[in-house]
Structure 1
Amino acid sequence: MIEIGDMSISAEDRVRAYGERLFGVPRSELVLQHLAGDASTRQYFRVFNNEASYIAAVYTEPLDAQAHPYCDVTRLLIRRGIPIPEILAISGEDGIVLQQDLGDLRLQDWLEGAGEEAKRDIYRQAIDIIFDIQAATGAAYEMGSIASKLAFDEAKLLWELRFFYDHYFGRYRSEVLAAGDKELIDAELVEIARELAARPRVLCHRDYHSRNLMLKDGRLFVIDHQDARMGPISYDLASLLYDPYATLRESLISDLYDYFVERLAARQNTSDNAPNRSTLLMVSGAAEAGMRAEARAETGAEAGKGIAAGFRVVDAGDCRFAEEDFRKEFDLMVAQRMLKAVGTYTYQKTICGNDIYLRYIKPAIDAALKAMRQLNRFPALQKAIQAELEAS
């Protein structure tokens, strides 16, 4: 007999043992379908019981249902009405989360047979969800969610960029740059991280792309949300529009960018007329004692939480929107996000022996270079990447 919490057995055996306890079906008769995962250590199974099916996410170790990031962020997003799979049952001892089955149709797959108008409509829905996620910023603080305690600060952004440098130039390209060139590039990476870290912050999904958006009954659902955290307003938009898994046409990207900006300006106007304190922006930077006291007096406990985390909590209406300023942030965010993606893809190849992401390196690199050229900045980084492209 398999004991509850026996982590020495396989993920499939754990699911079968849990299914037997949960459904009363002998484990040998339980029908499972092992699903392909992504770049994580989790395993996924579709579990069939009578006419119903469920998805079992199986972790490598036991989990605390109250504190685990996936469970925590799920509670937050469900409360705010974000379309995500519901958690149906949890076995913390077995490291299993049983959740709603959304089927197999990812946005990435749906795009293959879709026309431009259909793509435009579905991506506008995806952008609407970004705004819904951002509107949950205040709730994240009210609930004490782990997402309110994590942020794309300078250290995190820079770690990702240096991860790109090490795995793209070092391990994947086996390139040893001259010390002077390496110093120039690192200085530019610091610039990117520092400037993005100083931007206003909202709640971000953190991995918002076509592999993490599912379609069920014509409706978009969001998955893989456990890493949600505070970041620049443009973060999820950059991830969505320059998604290497999708490679949208530039005309469609431009149209969708304009749609986002129009909605952002409309949110600004709404905040100007009737401030909504459930929609909060986070302004980074060290706060002096006087500002801390002022912020606490204005917004009470929420401000206290924000200041404790190193941010000031302010209303959306207090942040003036300027499209030119936002465009610069967006291009900077595209550069950082795409370089980070290249770091992940090359890590998967060189460390994990996983070739599946190789085809996505080029579109990610192209998007990062385009953004840097748009900004007319980071010449050392551009030169080094271009040299690698020409040599490959």
Structure 2
Amino acid sequence: MLPEHEALLILTREQFPELNSTPCEVEVILKGASDRHFYRLKWQDGREPMVLMVYTLARRDNPKFVPATHRLEKMGAHVPHVLAFDERRLCVWLEDLGRVDLQSLNHQPWSKRAPLYEATLREAAKFHGVEEKSLTPADLDELEPAFDEALYEWEQNYFLDHFVGGHLGREFTHAEYQAAHETLKQLRRRLAKLPRCLVHRDFQSQNVLIRGEEAWLVDYQGLRLGRAEYDLGSLLYDPYVNLSRTERSELLRYYAAHRGLDLNELREVFYLCAAQRLMQALGAYANLSRNLGKPHYIQHIPAAVANLAEVCREGQGLHDLRAFFEGGF
């Protein structure tokens, strides 16, 4: 066993003394672009495995995971139960939710996937129903900074700097992009004026684990105030999976009916938020692949561009954004 894994087992047995004499296999879980490390601890006495998350303080949202877990649990949302927490050593022991995420089912027929997406939307509705006015200052301190015009602008600049400038090599400050920049400004101002609720912030298929017919959420440490449609855009226009226009419409209709919302009003803001989210994702893929030593993220750029092009066709007032990316990627 690797020395690192031996050390992790020593820490684990400090938290769970009853496991001192139980043999254990440590499996590394490779997950996403996070700076956190995950390990599956498989006990050889038939006991249920657990997941150990080891995080750093490099990202301000990492310490928010445990408070976010407790908050979501109280709402009845499906999240992994915290078995133990060592704040000093930056370790969290979690219920093991298994290996099957929504992305891994991408090649299943829609008749199998649709109920799982509906289950996922029902989970989102549990915290989307929490409005800003219901939260106290103490609640807000536990959350990440809310979506406002400044955060929307930061995401847009991330897209411009890393994808449009860095990946495509375009001089996006030139006069030919003036209309596109005006569209960005109007987009962030419009979204910032809308009422806010609790949102996941990274609500995509890799962050939804499936157990039976139920959906369970992970990677929600970015929980904050924002628009529910931002999460919907993250899930329904996720570049990691294939959803048809008809399937997206079906799921959006399901969500509106589940929450008792006006479908047309929901759809209008949905496209605005989907454009915002896809720009953020393209900035991330470009930055991860070009600057952070993770070149495999480049494979997701074509799908994200195709999704953004569709959103710009479907949404109101988004057409001019196409100038930033059309003509190749």
TM-score by length of 2: 0.89
Question: Are residue 40 (structure 1) and residue 40 (structure 2) matched?
Answer: no
Kept after mapping to 1: 8 A contact 2:160/2:172: no
CA deviations 1:139-189 (Å, max 9, x no partner) are 972562546563111100110111011001222122234521344433322
Find the residue that maps to 1:33 and give its secondary structure.
strand
Find the residue that maps to 2:8 and give its secondary structure.
helix
Kept after mapping to 1: 8 A contact 2:106/2:242: no
- Find the counterpart in structure 2 of residue 88 from structure 1: 83
Select which of 275, 282, 304 maps to 1:364.
304
- Find the counterpart in structure 2 of residue 287 from structure 1: none
- State, as a whole percentage, how many aligned pairs show the same letter: 24
Kept after mapping to 1: 8 A contact 2:177/2:323: no
- Partner Cα distance (2:275, 2:40) in 1: 37
- Between 127-136 and 335-344, the greater mean CA deviation after superposition: 127-136
Shift of 1:83: 0.3
Quick one: structure 1 residues 28 and 324, their matched pair in 2 at CA, closer, same or farther if it must change by over 3 Å? closer
Kept after mapping to 2: 8 A contact 1:35/1:44: yes
Select which of 102, 118, 124 maps to 1:130.
124
Question: Are residue 98 (structure 1) and residue 85 (structure 2) matched?
Answer: no
- Find the counterpart in structure 2 of residue 377 from structure 1: 317
Say how many residue pairs are matched: 322
Find the residue that maps to 1:106 and give its secondary structure.
coil
Q: CA RMSD in A?
A: 2.7
Kept after mapping to 2: 8 A contact 1:200/1:233: no
Question: Are residue 22 (structure 1) and residue 15 (structure 2) matched?
Answer: yes
Kept after mapping to 1: 8 A contact 2:204/2:238: yes
Letter of the aligned partner of 1:358 in structure 2?
Answer: I
- Partner Cα distance (2:290, 2:87) in 1: 33
Question: Are residue 77 (structure 1) and residue 72 (structure 2) matched?
Answer: yes
- Partner Cα distance (2:189, 2:205) in 1: 28
CA deviations 1:88-141 (Å, max 9, x no partner) are 0011121100000011101111232x2222222111111111211213447972
CA deviations 1:205-258 (Å, max 9, x no partner) are 111111000012332101111101111131211111111111212211111111
Select which of 226, 249, 262 maps to 1:231.
226
Select which of 129, 151, 171 maps to 2:146.
151
- Partner Cα distance (1:21, 1:116) in 2: 46
Matching of residues 1-392 of structure 1 within 5 Å:
12=5, 14-24=7-17, 30-49=24-43, 50-51=45-46, 52-61=48-57, 68-112=63-107, 114-137=108-131, 141-142=135-136, 144-146=139-141, 150-177=145-172, 179-264=174-259, 266=260, 322-375=262-315, 377-387=317-327, 389=328, 392=329
Kept after mapping to 1: 8 A contact 2:25/2:42: yes
- Between 163-172 and 367-376, the greater mean CA deviation after superposition: 367-376
Based on CA coordinates, which of the two structures has the bigger radius of gyration?
Answer: 1
Letter of the aligned partner of 2:161 in structure 1?
Answer: D
CA deviations 1:293-318 (Å, max 9, x no partner) are xxxxxxxxxxxxxxxxxxxxxxxxxx
- Partner Cα distance (1:172, 1:380) in 2: 20
Find the residue that maps to 1:47 and give its secondary structure.
strand
TM-score by length of 1: 0.75
- Partner Cα distance (1:358, 1:135) in 2: 35
Shift of 1:197: 1.1
- Between 129-138 and 25-34, the greater mean CA deviation after superposition: 25-34
Quick one: structure 1 residues 97 and 145, their matched pair in 2 at CA, closer, same or farther if it must change by over 3 Å? farther
- Partner Cα distance (1:145, 1:82) in 2: 19
Letter of the aligned partner of 1:166 in structure 2?
Answer: D
Instruction: Give structure 2 stretches of 5+ with no counterpart.
Output: none
- Partner Cα distance (2:133, 2:288) in 1: 35
